[in-house]
Structure 1
Amino acid sequence: MNARKKVAFYTLGCKLNFSETSTIARSFKEEGFDRVDFTESADIYVINTCSVTENADKRFKTIVKQAQKKNPDAFVAAVGCYAQLKPQELADVHGVDLVLGATEKFKITDYLNDLSKNDFGEVHSCEIEDADFYVGSYSIGDRTRAFLKVQDGCDYKCTYCTIPLARGISRSDELENVLKNAKEISEKNIKEIVLTGVNIGDYGKGEFGNKKHEHTFSELVEALDTVEGIERLRISSIEPNLLKNDTIDFVSKSRTFVPHFHIPLQSGSNTILKLMRRRYLRELYVDRVNKIKEVMPHACIGVDVIVGFPGETDELFLETYNFLNTLDISYLHVFTYSERDNTVAADMDGVVPKNVRSKRSKMLRGLSVKLRRAFYESQLNTTREVLFESENKEGYIHGFTENYVKVKAPWNPELVNTLHRVELTHIDEDGLVRFEFVKELV
């Protein structure tokens, strides 16, 4: 382990996976490994898997092949949700040497004494009931934004979802540790933190299935608002039934929390919501959107929607489409339903043909473009604060306003990771917003 070995990482799926990959990467660094890009030759390739969609499963084999092309002798390890749900399936993929389940992934360096290739994948998985402890993590995706994990697992029993099987019960980081991690991030001159988890509104449940709420999500939000050195805090995604009025009111007056909410809906039909075993009906969703807009008219609201769920007739789909079309929301994340093993929905009647699922998905993506355009137009001629990102994209630098309007300007490296007051002036051909500077560096 003393020789400087090279390790590369590939992350599939959500922001939570990205935060955990970063924590695993830091453990490699402590063991004397040098991190390289996944497109380079490495001694070890670690793939952090996702199993939310069928597509993520299929991509795994492609990624293993990419690693083997770069170095046929490299040691390939798989961790993450798919590794927990179907460890043997991953172990059987040609080239995979090690598969680690939910309790083992953060101990990956303990398994690396011998990096010689195996004839078959070695599996170290666990019963998901054993995943009852919490490992905090955060990732620094680029120099401008970090993903901070505050919660893991889920106690909900949505009929389409494998996440509780892959990540275990709901459990949270201690408030003191979240604040410590936030402070560490602030000391790296990162301007924005995005809070992540599986079900972050459930924050407060302790380790080992302890249901005592040491702190609520609202208390977490209020405490993070006091961390010095952080310019922006963003809530990544929160269930509508867990987004309380006190949190919305606090964000509206907050020093650092931005007016941007991402709230899963999944369906605009109460019939389908009941089949999904969601913990709310559409009336509550309307109430949450109205409350946000009442105190923050300029807030951005993103929505998750699943199309093609079993039992979704044309009429019920149109109910969802029309419902979304009347809501004061800003954009959609559209997911095409795919059957997952060991879920209730996989055995339900009323299966929607895949071509119909695809058509409905296309309709909602078109609606999302329309909603985003209308939201951007509503923000023209207003003054906003933009955080510029670090990538040069075809001669342009991009950034986001506090309420998640994406802007562009000719590339200028001096703007990277800086905040500026701007006036939004017009929408470009590519749908992004142009602006004029109002005030220099904040």
Structure 2
Amino acid sequence: MKDGWQRNPEAPAIFLRTYGCQMNVRDSEAVLHRFVAQGYRIARSEEEADVILLNTCSVRDLAEEKACGKMTSLRARKRENPSVVLGFLGCMAQRRGGELLNDFPEVDLVLGTQKLHKAMIQVERIRAARAAAGPGSPSESLRILDVDAEPGSQNQVRDHLPSRRKASAFVSIMQGCNMRCAFCIVPVTRGAERARPMEEIVEEVRQLADQGVREVTLLGQIVNLYGRHEFSVRDGRSPFVQLLERVCSVPGIARVRFTSPHPIGFRDDLIAALRDLPALCEHVHLPAQSGSDTILRAMGRGYSRSRFLQLVERIRATLPEATLTTDLIVGFPGEEEADFAQTRSLVETVQFDQAYIFRYSPRPGTSAAARSDSIPEEEKLRRNHELLGLQDAIALRKAKQLLRQEVEILVEGESRKSPHRFQGRTRGNHLVLVRAEERWRGELLRVRIVETTGYTFYAEPVFAEEREERLLGVPTPPAPGR
């Protein structure tokens, strides 16, 4: 497929909106690939689409509300053009199933997480049935629900859309989770933990490198537990570390990342890999969820506060330059003020570079949802704001340490907020904006940080002659502001 693969105005158009995590983003790309291979073009908006699919998330109630609200707004589109195919995909589709067909009579398709690879086939069935029935036939003449499990479905997320000088890509290496944390719906929506074959993953990365991709991020619900049921430990190295070694050795791949790991699977071999594999980036996302032993036990996390802090110490002792990010939940059932204070204390002690902080949202089907000691919403909101304020201050203080420093970024392309800037990331996953110059797209670029908001950095390129002058002691003029 060439760069002009979506320009045929006569082809049917698909619009796919994605909610939730990077795994959903990766799933959506694999779904779109199958439509493009069938001759569809990707619509720029819902208004020009013949097929509109929502790839949904169930991790929090708000994510489901957004998807349902969007589908409600599409009713007018369906009234204008009854031939439009509407569908729910992914985690909410898996969890709610036929309920969505009942609640949304305009919806034609509901596909669960293990059937995403069949989205194109099912849409074609619906469109063919309508064409055979002729104009004026009931729009609900064929409605499809498929949320059954399918063996080997984890191996279907392997195809990527062609893209001009694509710098980075997500690679799904496993599906599902066996942990059963009290707050988490993932084992319900994604199924049991199951890994892709190692050789297939490495071959996918090789193909991406051949297309010019410089960075890959390996994805899994608990990514560092990859292959523990399918592969053996070798020379003290887990299957995940074995995979990292192979991926990092693929020619053309300059950077490798992974997300999200679990603290209980973060062992010495993985810490050593972060130190010893040059392509493996110095960024560790380590979800803590809480700083209270009482709440960690109630969550079923499998580690204590002290064990988490010991892990942080081991990582930083081995890799002092590593950036450390985390996930935190406030307002879990039974969380007393003293428990929240322990989470505050953890944030102050660790000094995370960034923290994703969420108010607890009860999910049907999880053990925590049945608890009667829920925290009032206004108290959740207070704790959320308080913890965000603390973390923002820490992030800004740490970010200022990078001012006037030279770093290397991988230039990804246009910034989502500024059309005149390109964005890229450091090895530590800091988001950096530079002026837009096409020659930098997809390239590793040395830049100097000149300004920061705490989470976004602004930079100017550092050219080879300037670096040579600095090494010789020639003063460098101050970089212009943004």
Q: Do the two structures share a fold, i.e. TM-score over 0.5?
A: yes
Answer yes or no: is the 8 Å Cα contact 2:109–2:143 preserved in 1. yes
Aligned pairs for 1:227-376 within 5 A? 227-376=250-399
Q: Give the Å deviation of 1:430.
A: 7.4
Answer yes or no: is the 8 Å Cα contact 1:289–1:328 preserved in 2. no
Give 1:4's aligned amino acid.
Answer: A
| Change beyond 3 A, Cα 1:181–1:359 | same
Matched, 1:35 2:42: yes
Matched, 1:114 2:126: yes
Q: Distance in 2 between matches of 1:16 and 1:38?
A: 23
Aligned pairs for 1:211-230 within 5 A? 216-230=239-253
**One of 437, 442, 467 as aligned partner of 1:412:** 437
Q: Distance in 1 between matches of 2:339 and 2:402?
A: 33
* 2:97 alignment partner in structure 1: 87
Matched, 1:432 2:456: yes
Q: TM-score, normalised by structure 1?
A: 0.91
Give 1:384's aligned amino acid.
Answer: V
Answer yes or no: is the 8 Å Cα contact 2:27–2:116 preserved in 1. no
Unaligned runs of 5+ in 1: none
* 1:379 alignment partner in structure 2: 402
User: Residue by residue, what CA displacement relative to the aligned partner does 1:253-277 show, whole Å, maximum 9, x if unpaired?
Assistant: 3221110011111111010000001
Answer yes or no: is the 8 Å Cα contact 2:226–2:239 preserved in 1. yes
Q: Give the Å deviation of 1:68.
A: 4.7
| Change beyond 3 A, Cα 1:191–1:39 | farther
Q: Distance in 2 between matches of 1:231 and 1:201?
A: 21
* 2:24 alignment partner in structure 1: 17
Q: Distance in 2 between matches of 1:278 and 1:203?
A: 18
Answer yes or no: is the 8 Å Cα contact 1:9–1:37 preserved in 2. no
Q: Distance in 2 between matches of 1:397 and 1:226?
A: 28
Q: Distance in 2 between matches of 1:293 and 1:433?
A: 23
Q: Give the Å deviation of 1:213.
A: 6.9
* 1:105 alignment partner in structure 2: 116
Q: Give the Å deviation of 1:405.
A: 2.2
Q: Give the Å deviation of 1:400.
A: 1.4
Aligned pairs for 1:88-237 within 5 A? 88-91=98-101, 92-111=103-122, 112-115=124-127, 116=130, 117-118=139-140, 121-126=143-148, 133-135=153-155, 136-137=157-158, 143-205=166-228, 216-237=239-260
Greater shift in the superposed pair: 308-317 or 101-110: 101-110
Answer yes or no: is the 8 Å Cα contact 2:176–2:194 preserved in 1. yes
Give 1:409's aligned amino acid.
Answer: V
Answer yes or no: is the 8 Å Cα contact 1:170–1:202 preserved in 2. no
Matched, 1:403 2:425: no
Q: Give the Å deviation of 1:434.
A: 3.6
Matched, 1:422 2:433: no
Aligned residues: 434
Answer yes or no: is the 8 Å Cα contact 1:263–1:304 preserved in 2. yes
* 2:69 alignment partner in structure 1: 62
SS of 1:146 mapped into structure 2: strand
Q: Distance in 2 between matches of 1:44 and 1:68?
A: 13
Q: Distance in 1 between matches of 2:393 and 2:36?
A: 45
Answer yes or no: is the 8 Å Cα contact 1:12–1:48 preserved in 2. yes
Q: Percent identity?
A: 26
| Change beyond 3 A, Cα 1:358–1:294 | same
User: Residue by residue, what CA displacement relative to the aligned partner does 1:277-336 show, whole Å, maximum 9, x if unpaired?
Assistant: 112111121122112211222211110001110000111111111111111421100111
Give 2:100's aligned amino acid.
Answer: L
SS of 1:79 mapped into structure 2: strand
> Rg larger in 1 or in 2?
2
User: Residue by residue, what CA displacement relative to the aligned partner does 1:394-422 show, whole Å, maximum 9, x if unpaired?
Assistant: 53332211112222233333322221123
Give 1:177's aligned amino acid.
Answer: E
Answer yes or no: is the 8 Å Cα contact 1:232–1:257 preserved in 2. yes
Q: Distance in 2 between matches of 1:114 and 1:361?
A: 45
Give 1:256's aligned amino acid.
Answer: A
Give 1:145's aligned amino acid.
Answer: S
RMSD: 2.5
| Change beyond 3 A, Cα 1:60–1:244 | same
Q: Distance in 1 between matches of 2:50 and 2:13?
A: 5
Q: Give the Å deviation of 1:61.
A: 2.2
User: Residue by residue, what CA displacement relative to the aligned partner does 1:381-403 show, whole Å, maximum 9, x if unpaired?
Assistant: 44321112311415333221111
* 2:477 alignment partner in structure 1: none
Q: TM-score, normalised by structure 2?
A: 0.84
